[in-house]
Amino acid sequence: QVYLVESGGGLVQAGGSLRLSCRTSGINFSIARMGWYRQAPGKQRDLVATISNDGSTNYTDSVKGRFTISRDNARATVYLQMNSLQLEDTGDYYCQTTWKGRTWWGRGTQVTVSS
């Protein structure tokens, strides 16, 4: 069974930082492409960032220069460092991967940015 467990969310003031973690099990993490998605209240779930097994990364335009996705293969964990947080970053953040033809999601961690 594949498990993705997010942590690190919380309440933060605008301009602040948070670091999200997603611990995985049941996959060969070192070859898996990992992604972070977020879902703002009342909106669809959108891609935030991805990291491939070779460490190459992609970001949605709104977070470029503020967020950094990284991975620790020894810990089978992917991270999302979020700096200069803005009100629009509020939402539930989900870890995602595709493994053996199926897409897997964590349960999410909530991020609330206050003014």
10-59 per-position pLDDT tens digit: 999 999 999 999 999 999 999 999 999 999 999 999 999 999 999 999 99
Nearest Cα to Cα of residue 95 among 61, 51, 60? 51
Identify the pLDDT of residue 18: 98
Identify the pLDDT of residue 81: 98
pLDDT in tens, 47-90: 999 999 999 999 999 999 999 999 999 999 999 999 999 999 99
DSSP 98: E
10 Å Cβ neighbour count for 21?
17
